[in-house]
Amino acid sequence: MPRGALCALLDEPASRPLRLVVRAGLPEDRAVLEDAARALDPGRWRTLDLADAGAPFPAARWLGALREGDQLVAAPGYNTFWEAQTLGFARYTRWVPGSRPGDPRRLPGAAAAPGTPRPPALVPRPSLSVEMGNTALRG
């Protein structure tokens, strides 16, 4: 999808950087992700909740349109994490653990092939120390 279509869907001007929260997990993850986004950068964030009626699916088709300056906050679920790697929007993404207690969200593939990105190591909330440009969270 072109970036303009994503901006139109979110009712955001295409000339401004997008600040986007994407939720595809548990309903309570929305508040966790939105709080994390505001903690990282106060101001206006748009939320793309895949449980909402009319939400674009698969979201990865739309998120691949992100460009330099855009920001995305998401939980590193299996699909979101690997779609971000494959479609190139991982560099704009800040990974935040969701709300599932006891769910480490460990992703397969760390040893799949040379050069395969390592899955994110999740940190307990409320720590939000994120290494930018890399998909790893540090505690």
Residue-wise pLDDT for 112-134, tens only, equals: 334 445 545 443 443 333 433 33
Start-to-end C-alpha separation, the chain: 35
Number of C-beta neighbours around residue 45 at 10 A: 19
State residue 99's pLDDT score: 66
Assess whether pLDDT exceeds 50 at residue 97.
yes
pLDDT tens for 29-83 read: 899 899 999 999 888 999 999 888 888 888 888 899 999 999 999 988 888 888 9
Assess whether pLDDT exceeds 70 at residue 107.
no
Kindly report the pTM of this predicted structure: 0.70
Backbone angles phi, psi at 47, to 5 degrees: -115, 130
Assess whether pLDDT exceeds 80 at residue 103.
no
What is the helix (H) or strand (E) element at residue 22, kind and residue range?
Answer: strand 19-23
State residue 73's pLDDT score: 94
Residue 100's pLDDT band (cuts 50, 70, 90): low
